[in-house]
Amino acid sequence: MNPTPAYELSAKLDWLNAEPQRIAAHRGRIVVLLFWSASSVYCHNILHDLAAIQRKWPDAVSVLAIHHPKFNAEQDAKLMAEALTRLDIGFPVANDREWIAWQHYNAHSWPFMVLIDGKGRHVADFVGDDQTSAIESRIAAMLESAAPAGPKPGQLKAKARSKVFSTLNAPSGLVIANGLLYIADAGHHRVLECALDGRIIREFGNGVPLFLDGSAGDSSFHRPSALAVHRDHVYVADTGNHAVRRLSLLHGSVDTLLGDGRPGHLTSDGGLEAAVARLNNPCGLCIHQDSLIVADSGNNRLGLLNLGNRQFTGLVGGGAIGFLDGVGDRARLAHPLGLAGTQNFLYMVEGTASSLRTVAVPEGRVNTLIGHGLYQFGNADGNRQNAAMQHPTGVVVDEGRGMAWIADAYNRKIRSYSLVNNQLSTLPLMQNLVRPSALALDAESLWIADSAGNHIYRYFFESEYLSRINIHAA
């Protein structure tokens, strides 16, 4: 494209972690303007990559991220501040509630990147989360002929993030097994094994967001989320590492079953050896017989890992984002985030479509219970035709009570879907939740991970009492 003067950023932008930014203030530096959405896993990938570019050229390059709220809840500054912490974003971010910059730069999908040279000219556009190499190459070429930039002033940087002193930081996965509670402590990049009173027994992961197998103390995770237990192992959706990890409860060790730390795609319709299969932001797990079902969110599909022969196959979804019932790869999924199962069915919640859907196993037939499309969401109880949710992230099935319990994250509610009369209801709670993200179930209670609140709650069905669990060191 021919260079054109870059549009100046609107004064109406709400800067979340920096002083108000102007393109003119960054003259002499290359600006990467990122248009993104917090609910898109594709954007999570590019945020990570652009952070590396910013670290490589801290003074010569300025990354500015302009967030565009797809969901109503993403208008909330406090919720967005939690997202910045959870995603570890270290460059200036603004919330463009009125989509002003989006229109100025003619963005049409996210992630969308605009490259602005040191003279304030718009010189290139990039679309998608696979453009990092192209962006980096273009920046390197531009810097060869650019005058050296001096040290970047503090007002052009993000403010220092507040430290999280709570025991938990964005807990994003729960599972109960053998009288113990397992927590994916995403913001601290670890998995905790706890007694039911909250006492920490063991910690897996050293807290550094890397990709390392080994002993409990030497291994590393990056934003772990969903958990599942089978026999003597806990399986972990290591979302930021695009991997599925396995914790040995007998030996206290961590190894990798799927993924290599980079986002990838399942490129074969047949089975792949687990060692060569690659994932993109796995966010949900569920045990079905002797297999592990994986919600490969960035690939908009469910995959099945045979825990016996280590074959990994596609179950449903065709890779492209969409919303269509069907069988196998003819069905279209929209960022599946949470999974739960019965003997014959999986229950799946999708963030982008705000939906609850079933998947018949093993034939892979997808049927929608709640949800109407990629841009339809709301906050309504009632029958399945009229009920609505907003970016649900977790689900558990309570066959004894005939319910599917749902973490309706952006509505800040726990919802119950009756498997008998197909009605969606809201569970009344004595405590307001901030962003419930994950659920677990035992015979007498529902466990809730409130990711943005950094708390774990236990709701007792008989007494209707909600107890906050004090997660603490022994």
CB 335 within 8 A of CB 320: no
Give the pLDDT score at 102: 97
In the chain, the amino acid numbered 1 is M
DSSP annotation of 262: S
Q: How many CB atoms are closer than 10 A to CB 123? A: 17
How far, in Å, CA of 415 to CA of 435, rounded? Answer: 13
For 158-188, give the DSSP string. Answer: PPPPPP--SS-SSEEEEEEETTEEEEEEGGG
Q: How many CB atoms are closer than 10 A to CB 150? A: 10
CA 405, chain centre distance (Å): 19
| Residue length of the chain | 474
Give the pLDDT score at 267: 54
- Which residues lie closer than 8 Å to 87 by C-beta, 6 or more apart? 38, 44, 47, 223
Edge to edge, the sheet with strand 190-195 lists: 171-177, 180-185, 190-195, 199-204, 472-473
Give the pLDDT score at 268: 47
CB 364 within 8 A of CB 328: yes
pTM for the whole structure? 0.95
Burial (Cβ within 10 Å: 0-12, 13-18, ≥19) of residue 192: buried
Q: At what angle do helices 132-144 and 41-56 cross, to 10 degrees?
A: 30
In the chain, the amino acid numbered 140 is A
Q: Determine the straight-line distance between the first and last CA of the chain, rounded to whole angstroms.
A: 61
Give the phi and the psi of residue 77 in degrees, each rounded to 5. -65, -35
Give the pLDDT score at 319: 77
Longest dimension (CA), the chain: 71
How far, in Å, CA of 88 to CA of 52, rounded? Answer: 12
How far, in Å, CA of 336 to CA of 202, rounded? Answer: 30
Q: To 5 degrees, how large is the angle CA 338–CA 199–CA 84?
A: 45
Could you list the pLDDT tens digit for every one of the 474 residues in the chain? 889 999 999 999 999 999 999 999 999 999 999 999 999 999 999 999 999 999 999 999 999 999 999 999 999 998 999 999 999 999 999 999 999 999 999 999 999 999 999 999 999 999 999 999 999 999 999 999 888 888 999 999 999 877 778 999 999 999 999 999 999 999 999 999 999 999 999 999 999 999 999 999 999 999 999 999 999 999 999 999 999 999 999 999 999 999 999 998 755 444 555 667 889 999 999 999 999 999 999 999 999 999 999 999 999 997 789 999 999 999 999 999 999 998 889 999 999 999 999 999 989 999 999 999 999 999 999 999 999 999 999 999 999 999 999 999 999 999 999 999 999 999 999 999 999 999 999 999 999 999 999 999 999 999 999 999 999 998
How far, in Å, CA of 239 to CA of 187, rounded? Answer: 12
Give the pLDDT score at 266: 56
Give the pLDDT score at 164: 76
Q: What are the beta bridge partners of residue 192?
A: 183, 203
Give the phi and the psi of residue 429 in degrees, each rounded to 5. -125, 150
How far, in Å, CA of 239 to CA of 131, rounded? Answer: 20
- Collapsing DSSP to helix, strand or coil, 156 comes out as helix
Give the pLDDT score at 274: 61
How far, in Å, CA of 156 to CA of 63, rounded? Answer: 10
For 205-217, give the DSSP string. Answer: S-SSSS-B-EETT
